[in-house]
Amino acid sequence: MQKKVWSGRVSGSVSQLMEEYSRSTETDHLMWREDIAVNRAWAAELAHIGIFTPDEITRITEALATIEQEFSNDQFTFLPSDEDIHVAIERRLTELAGEAGARIHTGRSRNDQVATDARLWIRRMAGDWREALLALQATLLARAEEHVDTVLPGYTHWQQAQPILLAHYLLAIFWGVDRTVQRLDEYLARFDECPLGCGALAGSAFPVDRERLAQELGFARPSPNSIDATGDREVFAELLFVISTLATLLSRVCGELQIWNAHEFGFIEFADAHATGSSMMPQKKNPDAMELIRGKAAAAIAAGAQLQVLSKGLPLTYNRDLQEDKPVTFRMLQEIILTTRLFDEALAGAVFYSERMAAALDDNLLATDLADYLVEKGVPFRQAHEIVGQAVRRALEKKCALMQLSLQDLRAFSDVFEQDVFEKVTFANSLARRSSTGGTAPGAVRRQLAAAKESLGEYGDR
């Protein structure tokens, strides 16, 4: 039986159940690249301070290259006794390099090792996510550009409220995604600190150069406090917040697009590639991509809470509870990348039916504009609101559209109405009037498109 790395003080012969229960390789094997990189950097540092002879560091370097090959070729064999990826790699290193391998853990702990590996893994995967986010932003921009002239009802409380441009709606999603990219960048910069060399909790007793280690591993700086670096898990919690914020945004949008896809709306149709049929009802084409994305948000939101609950009540240093940080965080990061890509694909492949959107426009969408017409002729808005409310009721009684009321009908509520009301209060004018920054007027939306493009361009440069 393989000896445990801690088998001096404790016999090392744990029960099979304990061994299985405590093993974390199922998740942390994902960090094999990072663990090898950390081993390389640490070995080089130990060579600098004379722990490894030139001959030994050569053997270590070669052994690490072999281990890397084994992982790349899917030929690395884990033993049941390998408690985690760090133990597995150290065990193999010692098999290959003999006594030199047995020196690698000098002055380091799995506590600073795991904190470093995890940050590196997150950084690599966050790069993939960032790429997916920028691709989604590009799709949103492209689809918005196609639909600067497409008008649809804007809803509040799922009641028709005011007309909007489809481009304006799509750009609303764009800015939400934009904030995720900002958050991700800020998050990565905040945690751009290398824990390696912090030891178990108190720092390394060997004179390692942590600035050099940080540089070697591509971090901006070493973490400033060994207790904080090894015991803190905000690094996971904050990432999960960034993930769940996007998951929540997309779940809202997917819920809305799912309804737009319903027969009664018919505003959008998804490509067959992003829909499924029913095992029973032959006519069905279900917008499953939207529903799955909406559903996945639940786990993302819960994951953030899980990390905080995991940490609450723990002392500031490492406790084994913290091993539970990675399965949930790693899964969520992998999943949000897929979510982002799938939403991107589904949006890129969807068809928007602008005629259905136009046909759905109810004249009552112009009620605010009708009130604004009176305001421009000097009526205080509150009175104008009351007058138009009565006009809306009158139209309902007459079973006609609001702007189908005659001038005489309108003048029954206010003699400020004149013939020009019919040419002034139109959908085109309703949109055009909302021309201040951030509004849905075609001109304002074009300016917004330019701003969005500029923002996306800046990200590309970073």
The reply on whether position 114 binds ligand ARG by CB under 6 A is yes
Instruction: Return the number of the residue (82 or 345) whose C-beta is nearest ligand ARG.
Output: 82
The reply on whether position 111 binds ligand ARG by CB under 6 A is yes
Nearest to 257 by CA among 355, 133, 164, 173: 173
Only one of the segments 320-328, 342-350, 398-406, 443-451 lies at the binding site for ligand ARG (rule: CB under 6 A); that segment is: 320-328
In which element (H, E) is residue 164 found? strand 159-165
Q: Tokens representing 94?
A: 């010692």
Helix boundaries (H) for 23-165: 25-28, 32-48, 54-72, 85-97, 99-102, 110-146
The reply on whether position 323 binds ligand ARG by CB under 6 A is yes
Q: Tokens representing 19?
A: 């061994």
Instruction: Return the number of the residue (24 or 160) whose C-beta is nearest ligand ARG.
Output: 24
Instruction: Return the number of the residue (110 or 130) whose C-beta is nearest ligand ARG.
Output: 110
Among 63, 167, 188, 322, binds ligand ARG (CB under 6 A): 322
Q: What is the DSSP string of 356-422?
A: HHHHT--GGGGHHHHHHHHHHTT--HHHHHHHHHHHHHHHHHHTS-GGGS-HHHHHTT-TT--TTHH
Only one of the segments 97-105, 110-118, 381-389, 453-461 lies at the binding site for ligand ARG (rule: CB under 6 A); that segment is: 110-118
Work out whether strand 159-165 and strand 193-194 pair parallel, antiparallel, or are unpaired. Answer: unpaired
End-to-end CA distance of the chain: 51
The reply on whether position 84 binds ligand ARG by CB under 6 A is yes
Least distance in angstroms from the C-beta of 87 to ligand ARG:
8
Q: Please tell me which residue in 13, 22, 72, 278 is annotated as part of the active site.
A: 278
* Distance in angstroms (rounded) separating the CA atoms of residues 262 and 260: 6
Q: How many chain residues bind ligand ARG (CB under 6 A)?
A: 9
Which residues fall within 8 angstroms of residue 400, CB to CB, at 6 or more apart?
Answer: none
* Distance in angstroms (rounded) separating the CA atoms of residues 219 and 116: 10
Q: Which residue has the tokens 């909790």?
A: 201
What 3-state class would DSSP assign to 440? Answer: coil
Least distance in angstroms from the C-beta of 41 to ligand ARG:
18
Q: Please tell me which residue in 11, 15, 157, 436 is annotated as part of the active site.
A: 157
Least distance in angstroms from the C-beta of 223 to ligand ARG:
16
Work out whether strand 268-269 and strand 351-352 pair parallel, antiparallel, or are unpaired. Answer: antiparallel
- Whether 278 is catalytic is yes
Instruction: Return the number of the residue (24 or 339) whose C-beta is nearest ligand ARG.
Output: 24
Only one of the segments 61-69, 121-129, 141-149, 319-327 lies at the binding site for ligand ARG (rule: CB under 6 A); that segment is: 319-327
Site string for ligand ARG, 6-25 (x = CB under 6 A): ------------------x-
Instruction: Return the number of the residue (71 or 318) whose C-beta is nearest ligand ARG.
Output: 318
Instruction: Return the number of the residue (56 or 82) whose C-beta is nearest ligand ARG.
Output: 82
Q: What is the DSSP string of 200-254?
A: TTT--SS---HHHHHHHTT-SEE-S-HHHHHH--HHHHHHHHHHHHHHHHHHHHH
Instruction: Return the number of the residue (119 or 296) whose C-beta is nearest ligand ARG.
Output: 119
Least distance in angstroms from the C-beta of 232 to ligand ARG:
13
Among 103, 110, 210, 434, binds ligand ARG (CB under 6 A): 110
Q: Which residue has the tokens 């960090």?
A: 31
In the complex, which residues of this chain contact ligand ARG (CB under 6 A)? 24, 28, 84, 110-111, 114, 320, 322-323
Tell me the catalytic residues: 157, 278
